[in-house]
Amino acid sequence: MGTHLPFTCRDVEICAAALLDGQLSPAEEEMVGDHLEHCDACAGLIDALETQRLKPPRIKLIQDNDYWEEMDAVLQSELDRAEQEQQVIPRKTILLYAAILLLSLAWGWHQRQRAEHLERIVYTQQQTLEQLERISVPNPKGEWVETSEKAHTSYQPAKLEL
Ligand SMILES: [Zn+2]
């Protein structure tokens, strides 16, 4: 190891993590590089650290490949199966559409039932109003019957019940 190297082995050791993270300044990087060029021990250390650091991702990459291979295999078998059952798929789709259609028809029917129910309520109210009107119609002379005022008041609760 020449004394001309600005970075000692200890310096390189200290900077190793920062070097691998790419966090050294260009000047520091250059000095470490100079040291590594002339010091096999430090070059070996950095190599070892680099390999160690890269190992987990490499393993993960392999795992991922296996995973996707497995997924591809499953997908392929599904596609093969679907191809074999090609005639069944449109029927399934038709059944799905039929189910949706039935649901919307049922919903429409439900809405219609509600509308009819409301119509009946309105009709009943109209009937009651007509009855009330008949009670308070003016007599042939055009005068209101004597009890009309009273009748109106007394029938009001009945109106509210509607
Ligand atoms: Zn060294």
Residue 2 has pLDDT above 50, yes or no: no
**Pair (68, 119) in one structural domain:** no
Number of domains in the chain: 2
| Model confidence pLDDT, tens digit, residues 46-62 | 998 888 776 555 555 55
pTM: 0.32
Verify that 141 and 114 share a domain, yes or no: yes
Together in a domain, 5 and 17: yes
d(CA 9, ligand 1 centre) in Å: 4
Say whether both 33 and 92 belong to one domain: no
Alpha carbon of 13 to ligand 1 centroid (Å): 8
The DSSP secondary structure of the chain, one letter per residue, reads --TT-SS-HHHHHHHHHHHHTT-S-HHHHHHHHHHHHH-HHHHHHHHHHHHHHHHHHHHHHHHHHHHHHHHHHHHHHHHHHHHHTTTHHHHHHHHHHHHHHHHHHHHHHHHHHHHHHHHHHHHHHHHHHHHHHHHTPPPTTSPPPTTHHHHHHHHHHHHHH-
Cα 23 to ligand 1 centroid, rounded to whole Å: 19
Pair (2, 13) in one structural domain: yes
Same domain, 4 and 33: yes
Q: How far is the CA of 48 from the centre of ligand 1 (A)?
A: 14
**Gap from CA of 26 to ligand 1 centroid (Å):** 19
pLDDT in tens, 124-150: 888 888 887 777 666 666 665 555 455
- Which residues constitute the domain of residue 104? 87-162
